[in-house]
Amino acid sequence: MARSIALLLVFLFSAFALSSQLYGIKPVKVLNFDQLEPYLNKKNDTVYLVNFWATWCAPCIAELPAIKAVEKKYSDKKFKVLLVSLDMPGHLKTRLTPFLLSNKITSDVVLLDDPDQNRWIDRIDKQWSGEIPFTVIYGKDFRESYSQSFDFKTLDSIINRKIKMP
Amino acid sequence: MKSIISLFFVLFFAVSVAYSSGYNIGDKAADFKLKNIDGKFVSFSNYPDAKGFVLVFTCNGCPYAQAYQDRIVEIDKKYKSKGYPVIAINPNDPALAPADSFDKMVSVAKTEGFTFPYLIDEKQEVYKNYGATKTPHVYVLQKKGSDFVVQYIGAIDDSYQDATKVNSPFLASALDALVAGSLPETTTTKAIGCGIKDKSKK
């Protein structure tokens, strides 16, 4: 009995792992703020979009297709997207990963697990009071943040402008 | 010359708009008149004996707001008798957030045992006036003469996931200070919350 359950679990796990690979879903890393911070302060020629979101946040979900489309449009340019999920850490396997699978989210996704938010919100942006969705777009010599839910046109024009900057 | 003057006015206007987005510590907060879940309207003037208020912009549907419902009830129970009652305000547009409709506020207040008024910001003017951006978002006001002075803005504590793991009970510490006749040591804190749902922000 125990053996068949173990077999079933192995089967389910491999099916899950396989389906993740099939859709190109990357494994979600769980980070604290100190581990996340380097992703917000890279200094090279690439334009970075770091989006703070959660599966339960309706306006966040609403802008994911726009982020996905922009990421695809500039896939041959020096442009990178990082989705920082603020889902509860206990919901990684039950909500976040299934959501990424069913919505075929192939961007880099990390889960930020750091409850002492008062310590790190200012270190991302002093103007940010903690509402999501929230997006930081930065490059070597600029840094902008947006407290809004993007549509494709708005986001595309920002990224287009930033990528073309000399 | 005329164009310089008009430019000056445009700049002045732009600067005033930029700086008028919400209250800072020490500002005088405006009273309001908003509908409570019992259908009656609530204002500061309904509380002649209050020494101040704990205004909490919150809602039904946001998981962060839900995580704090019990803790807000505890704050109200503890500090109402000390002169600082809780007033909760739902700032969301129910057309954008159906879970935050007036009817659902009534049922949430009942099932969660709210001991305080739960008001709806129907015109979405009060939250803008205060500068709230998310739920939950707390403002502690202290009555000084006929004014209500903002003494604390921000989070409830530093552990949204687990009330038993709080290291810094920000809001309770601020209230303890005010009740003891001094000023809060920490006056502003930050926490993640759900952005306020407003058509004008889309």
ipTM here: 0.82
CB contact under 8 A, B134 and A131: yes
Give the predicted TM-score (pTM) of the model.
0.86
pLDDT recorded at residue A19: 54
Q: Locate B131 and state its tokens.
A: 């500068």
Fold type of domain B23-201:
Glutaredoxin (3.40.30)
Give the pLDDT band (50/70/90) at residue B19: very low
With beta carbons under 8 A apart, name residues in chain A contacting B201.
148
Boundaries of every domain in chain B: 23-201
Interface of B with A in 37-66 (CB under 8 A): 62-63
- Enter the tokens of residue B171: 């809001």
**Cross-chain residue pair B193–A130, CB shorter than 8 Å:** yes
Helix (H) or strand (E) holding A139: strand A134-139
- Asked which of A17-21, B83-87, B118-122, B152-156 is least confident by mean pLDDT, the reply is A17-21
Q: Does B119 touch chain A (CB under 8 A)?
A: no
> In a mutagenesis test of the B interface, which of A96, A111, A118 is the best target, namely the one with the most B β-carbons within 10 Å?
A118
Beta strands, E only, B28-167 = 34-36, 41-42, 52-57, 86-90, 118-120, 134-135, 137-144, 147-154
Chain A CB within 8 Å of residue B194 CB: yes
Domain boundaries, chain A: 25-164
Distance between A88 CA and the closest CA of chain B, angstroms: 7
Mean pLDDT for the stretch of residues A31-54: 97
pLDDT (average), residues A158-166? 86
Give the pLDDT band (50/70/90) at residue B91.
very high
| pLDDT > 70: percent of chain B | 90
Model pLDDT, residue B27: 98
Are the beta carbons of B197 and B100 closer than 8 angstroms?
A: yes
Calpha distance B65→B56 (Å, rounded) = 10
Question: How many angstroms separate the Cα of B199 from the Cα of each of A29, A75, B19, B60, B130?
Answer: 34, 32, 22, 18, 18
Q: Measure B94 CA to nearest chain A CA, in Å.
A: 13
Residue A25 has pLDDT above 90, yes or no: no
Q: What is the mean pLDDT of chain A?
A: 90
Does B22 have pLDDT greater than 60?
yes
B86 touching chain A per CB within 8 A: no
Q: Match domain A25-164 to its CATH number in 1.10.8.620, 1.10.510.10, 3.40.30.10, 3.30.470.20.
A: 3.40.30.10
Tell me the shortest Cα–Cα distance from B116 to chain A, in angstroms. 25
Cross-chain Cβ contact B194/A57 below 8 Å = yes
Distance CA B52, CA B157 (A): 20
Share of chain B above pLDDT 90, in %: 87
Closest partner CB to A132 (pick from B154, B192, B201): B192
pLDDT at B164 over 50: yes
Grade residue B4 by pLDDT with cuts at 50, 70 and 90: low
Contacts of A119 in chain B (CB under 8 A): 158
CA distance A139 to chain B (A): 25
